[in-house]
Structure 1
Amino acid sequence: MSTQTTPRRRAARSLLATGLVTALALTGCSSRDEAQAEGAAAGESLTITDQRGETIALDGPAQKVAFAVMPAPSIFAAVDRSYDRIVGINSSTLKANQGGMFATMFPASASSATIAGNDFMPNIETLLELDPDVVVQWGDNGPGVIDPIESAGFPVVGLEYGTQEDLETWITLFAQIAGKPERGEHLVSWQQAQIEEMRGKVAEKPAERPRAMMLSRTGDAYNTTTGAGYDGFQFDLVGADLVTQDFVSDSGQVNPEQILDWDPEVIFLSGFDEMTPEDVYADPRLASVKAVADKRVYKTPLGGYRWQVPSAESPLMWAWMHHVLYPGQDTAEFRADVKAGFDDLFAYQISDDEIDKVLRTDLNKDSAGYGQFAR
């Protein structure tokens, strides 16, 4: 374990020590710089231990945060109940922001600067222009995506991905970065309470569970997930047997014959591509798959972020999946939970029309049982 101490932060602390902060203020330093200086002078510095085991020292709660990691900005916004500190994001996050509710809740998110693409390689020139207090990056993708950021003088919080424990750690780390540890505790407690509640609901269901899978498409090729990732936890939690549990593939690609062999009863479609239930129903190669024949194919929701991946909104995803798998429950209560969730997470009063948008009712309207989500 080591402590990151960057030249830029050492210089800032040196300025504080020599009393030059006042001089900088007189010559036009930013209010953010003043706030950082005041926080550091008041002894409000903080240290964070990331998922690499690295200790990161900050002068105080970060006022400007950049995210190379895709799902992270919406989680940070939920912790902060604001987008004000987010200055840079991944290009994939920008696409999700523009296509979903996030830009409605936080208009600035639709035009955020991008600091990385799908390969997560940082754009150092953009980072230098943005001058964030800290950069959030994958901690397990090798030094190539982290070293350039640290070499430019920016502290890096490294993350790992794949489990519910990782998600709860992210929430805790972001709460520390924002200087709001109690808020992080609140959100983690909500997640854990919803897990226990969902387990109780599933325990009351029949022992034979619906067979289900997650499906996406890249070009003409289908792709899926396995039990080794978050879906191994998520599908089990909501009471589904993940038919791809033991599937092994470096690329994630799966051919129609394999899907026929699995014969899932329910198919959830990824939010990372444009494939719709109608596209699946129209594929003659999948016509005899039970989920297709019964029209039980559903596009996953897009709220603050794509609900299928670990996020601050994951409890809402679990509830939605459970309703799809086991139709006939009280969906009025679910819609109320969505409203309460958006209020607590994002300080946003979501309308019924916007809930319909989040739930992709336009794309799912012809799928079996989706009328249950109507107002």
Structure 2
Amino acid sequence: MRPMGRQLRPPSGVSRRSVLRGALAVTALPALAACAPAAPAPDTAALTVTDLAGQTLTLDGPARRVVTIPLPAASMVVAVHGGPDVLVGMNAASLAAMRSSYLGAVHPQLLALPSDVAGSDFAPSIESILRLSPDVVIQWGNRSSGIIEPLRNAGLRVAQLTYGTQEDLEGAALLYGRLLGRQDRAERMVTGMRERLRAVRTQTPGLAAARPKVLYLRTAERSLTVGGGASYNHFVIDLAGGVNPAADIPAEQAEVDLERILAWDPDIILVGTFDAATPATLYANPALAGVRAVRERRVYKVPVGGYRWDPPSQESPLMWRWLAGLVHGTGAPGLRAEVVAEYEFLYGRGPTEAQLDTILQTVPNAGSAGYANFGR
């Protein structure tokens, strides 16, 4: 699990817009494919890429062996590439998430990949990484230089990732597209995000002053950790038409006590995917019985598909639709079909009805209001 630190910005003189442009520099974008394309032919032309920390790196050609250290990077690299064959190593926490995800089911070979490339603090295991002979290593760029320099000192090429905002998410997709020679897929992914962002925003004004209070609990099993005003969850709640009662907390996440939740009295509670808590966990807690969301059975476990839906990822547009359906009380009609179409593009195969039930947490959410036919 990644400690959610404050996001740093690119070095002085490097704008966010220029960083995003740099991810696509050097060659023009190919025409967008109508469906997931086949693996590209080998390309030996050297390429220079600007990462999300504003640093440049040069590869001999599109990367064919990638090691990822940040938790969300593994699944997104697979999605941007259009297949699992470029990923040769990942963080142990990424592998743990993959074991219980749709991505692990559709590409089981990923579950056999080495996962000893870094410690829980993201400090790289240089010997383990060198054994994998990667073309590039994806590492956090908004933490200390102590997790970057050992990689460079070992002669490894490093692409730095920043994380936490929608702009970061789009930038990561474009960066991976450039590194992998899959700009067509990356651009299609980002274009789709922007289109669906606009679509969800058109629903929000209709709520006017009736916006419900939506509380995101990153953890709820042993401790209560909420998404604060600096979190991506805050962005998603606002986008979907809700109000984050924890918005005044100036952090991405913070542990709170029970009394704080009672005072907030949220209308909807989202149970995150970073521990085993479910709506039943909260419904069974007598201390929470007076909270409106518990009393009205509006507590919901966040879905897990190819990756978790609560942090930013290639599946975030599906999270926006899911939450908007809860906030607006519409039941997100057509969401299940949208998941199938999206996964066919991202992972090369759409889920079955049974897999859709698992992804959308149909069993954990069965006792919650309005979920019987959700997404149909």
TM-score for the superposition, normalised by structure 1: 0.86
**Contact map agreement 1:66 1:88 (CA 8 A) in 2:** yes
Please name the residue that 2:245 is paired with.
243
**Contact map agreement 2:272 2:301 (CA 8 A) in 1:** yes
1:216 Cα deviation from its structure 2 partner: 3.0
| Structure 1: tracts of 5 or more residues without a match | 2-34
Please name the residue that 1:64 is paired with.
65
Quote the Cα distance in structure 1 between the aligned partners of 2:375 and 2:308.
21
1:250 Cα deviation from its structure 2 partner: 8.8
Quote the Cα distance in structure 1 between the aligned partners of 2:178 and 2:122.
23
How does 1:1-375 map onto structure 2 within 5 Å? 39-40=43-44, 44-114=45-115, 115-217=117-219, 220-248=222-250, 252-329=254-331, 331=333, 333-373=334-374
SS at match of 2:203: helix
| Structure 2: tracts of 5 or more residues without a match | 1-10, 12-39
Alpha-carbon distance change, 299 to 218 in structure 1, aligned in 2, over 3 angstroms: closer
Quote the Cα distance in structure 1 between the aligned partners of 2:209 and 2:46.
53
1:118 Cα deviation from its structure 2 partner: 2.9
After superposing on structure 2, the runs of 4+ consecutive aligned residues of structure 1 that deviate more than 3 Å are: 248-251
Spell out, residue by residue over 1:316-348, the C-alpha distance to the aligned partner (whole angstroms, 9 max, x if none). 0100111122223452x1111111111111111
Quote the Cα distance in structure 2 between the aligned partners of 1:190 and 1:76.
17
Alpha-carbon distance change, 98 to 243 in structure 1, aligned in 2, over 3 angstroms: same
1:295 Cα deviation from its structure 2 partner: 1.2
Quote the Cα distance in structure 2 between the aligned partners of 1:104 and 1:187.
22
1:219 Cα deviation from its structure 2 partner: 6.1
Spell out, residue by residue over 1:124-146, the C-alpha distance to the aligned partner (whole angstroms, 9 max, x if none). 12101111100000001111111
Which structure has the bigger radius of gyration? 1
TM-score for the superposition, normalised by structure 2: 0.86
**Contact map agreement 1:92 1:117 (CA 8 A) in 2:** no
Matched residues, number: 337
Quote the Cα distance in structure 2 between the aligned partners of 1:359 and 1:240.
20
Alpha-carbon distance change, 122 to 161 in structure 1, aligned in 2, over 3 angstroms: same
Alpha-carbon distance change, 251 to 365 in structure 1, aligned in 2, over 3 angstroms: closer
Indicate the percent of aligned positions where both proteins have the same amino acid: 38
Moved more, 177-186 or 160-169: 177-186
Query: Which of the two has greater helix per residue?
Result: 1
1:362 Cα deviation from its structure 2 partner: 1.4
